[in-house]
Amino acid sequence: MSSKKIILNSNRHFEIIDITSQINREIDIDSGIVNIFSKHSTSAIVVNENESGLLADLELMLEDLISDKYSWQHDRIDNNAKSHLKSFLLSSSETLPISGGKLDLGTWQSVFFIELDGPRKNRTVNLKFISD
């Protein structure tokens, strides 16, 4: 078992960052699994297709589901309740197969870090590799 990390900087309040190639560069086993975990409660890790229309649709859907029409309780603390609530709907981690020393994804699949409360510096994504 080995561990590595990816450090990211985001540039926008909501940003979808494809981290597939960064993860593949860190893989140090031929076959097994990797757990990909974001250490931040206002971000997410997801797997889906890297198509610009779909990614824009995700942002629109999240904005529609968690809108400004409510007075969110958490905003009394640090005014980012919407970011936390969006994170609840997504996931902080994914566990994916590795084969031939790289992620064993479907044809159209990519791994994304989703920033929900940016811009931020030094966002940490932990990678835990478990070999067969």
Residues 6+ apart with CB under 8 A from 87: 41, 42, 43, 44, 116
Number of domains in the chain: 1
Is there a domain that residue 72 lies in? Answer: no
State residue 75's pLDDT score.
Answer: 84
Q: Report the alpha-carbon distance of residue 42 to residue 74 in Å, rounded.
A: 13
Reported pTM: 0.95
Instruction: Identify the CATH number of the domain in which residue 123 sits.
Output: 2.60.120.460
State residue 59's pLDDT score.
Answer: 98
The tens digit of pLDDT for each residue in 33-76 reads: 999 999 999 999 999 999 999 999 999 999 999 988 888 899 89
Q: What is the DSSP letter of 107?
A: T
Is there a domain that residue 52 lies in? Answer: yes
Is there a domain that residue 47 lies in? Answer: yes
Is there a domain that residue 101 lies in? Answer: yes
The tens digit of pLDDT for each residue in 105-127 reads: 999 999 999 999 999 999 999 99
Contact 91, 46 (CB under 8 A): yes
Helix, coil or strand: residue 101: coil
Q: Report the alpha-carbon distance of residue 39 to residue 42 in Å, rounded.
A: 9
Is there a domain that residue 60 lies in? Answer: yes
Is there a domain that residue 27 lies in? Answer: yes
- DSSP conformation letters of 37-79: EE--TTEEEEEEE--HHHHHHHHHHHHHHS-TTS--TTHHHHS
Domain that holds residue 27: 2-67+77-131
